[in-house]
């Protein structure tokens, strides 16, 4: 999983990236964080940064559960305990699942642009209609690269061309069949029942200009998570590590200084 430990502070952060990206999504926050904390970065199995490319098992990785198993194994192998896990996008819910299974590994969860369900349902606003998700998956299957080039700018924020380019370097290197398989899993997922089992302290970081995770999702998560929850609103698109790194650093410092 290309895991690395950077810095040598007393507190340990584990940073999990989201769909389509790699650990490079944290490049803008790492120089500051490693001055004060021990920071672990890694790549999920679908990442284009895994070299040599693995034989990605689409049947195994048909749910976040397999990714949470990988996270737990990684943390056990590295002898990590009571870490602050920062999960961006899909990694947020993966962290929740892992924390339910092994609460000894975590002291606090920071859920950045996370969502338990993207699809709307009666009584729940996930942000996307089923027809919209079907169109996305059809476009991915038809021509992944063309779809990615149209999807990334509004996802990241059109005012951040350098961040879009950085994100696209990873996104476009994904194997299309893996991108489609993981994309289906993400956009069709429903992990709402997981939230009430999360007993650890959590910080939800909700982005004001997120095209896939509306504010309603953050409030829903805040109401359902069993542990102590704080909600931070950040002016950014879906990927604040790239577009609002200092604001994200400030939130992490507050979480760590407050004693988790």
Residues marked as catalytic: 89, 210, 238
CA 87 to chain centre: 4
Contacts 24+ apart (CB under 8 A), 48-52: 48/22, 48/170, 48/173, 48/174, 48/175, 49/2, 49/22, 49/23, 49/24, 49/170, 49/173, 50/1, 50/2
Helix (H, G, I), strand (E, B) or coil at 206: strand
Q: Which two tokens stand for residue 4?
A: 């690395």
Q: Which two tokens stand for residue 259?
A: 């004693």
* Nearest Cα residue to 68 out of 42, 41, 100: 100
Sheet architecture: strand order including 38-41: 4-6, 38-41, 12-16, 83-88, 106-112, 202-207, 229-234
Partners of 12 in the β-ladder = 38
Instruction: Please calculate the CA angle 216-68-3 and round it to the nearest 5 degrees.
Output: 110
Q: 241 near 22, Cβ under 8 Å?
A: no
């Amino acid at each position: 999983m290309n895991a690395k430990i950077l810095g040598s502070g007393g507190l340990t952060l584990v940073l999990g990236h989201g769909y389509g990206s790699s650990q490079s999504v944290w490049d803008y926050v790492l120089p500051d964080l490693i001055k004060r904390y021990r920071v672990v970065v890694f790549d999920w199995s679908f990442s284009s940064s895994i070299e040599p490319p693995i034989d990605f098992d689409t049947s195994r990785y048909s749910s976040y559960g397999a990714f949470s198993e990988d996270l737990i194994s990684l943390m056990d192998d590295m002898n990590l305990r009571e870490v602050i896990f920062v999960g961006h996008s899909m990694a947020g819910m993966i962290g929740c699942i892992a924390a339910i299974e092994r609460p000894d590994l975590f002291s606090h969860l920071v859920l950045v642009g996370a969502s338990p369900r993207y699809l709307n349902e009666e009584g729940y606003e996930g942000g996307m209609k089923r027809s919209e998700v079907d169109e996305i998956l059809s476009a991915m299957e038809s021509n992944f690269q063309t779809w990615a080039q149209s999807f990334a700018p509004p996802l990241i924020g059109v005012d951040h061309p350098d961040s879009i380019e950085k994100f696209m370097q990873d996104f476009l290197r994904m194997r299309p069949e893996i991108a489609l398989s993981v994309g289906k899993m993400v956009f069709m997922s429903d992990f709402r029942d997981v939230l009430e089992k999360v007993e650890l302290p959590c910080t939800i970081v909700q982005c004001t200009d997120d095209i896939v995770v509306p504010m309603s999702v953050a409030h829903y998560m805040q109401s359902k998570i069993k542990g102590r929850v704080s909600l931070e609103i950040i002016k950014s698109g879906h990927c604040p590590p790239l577009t609002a790194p200092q604001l994200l650093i400030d939130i992490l410092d507050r979480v760590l200084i407050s004693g988790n």
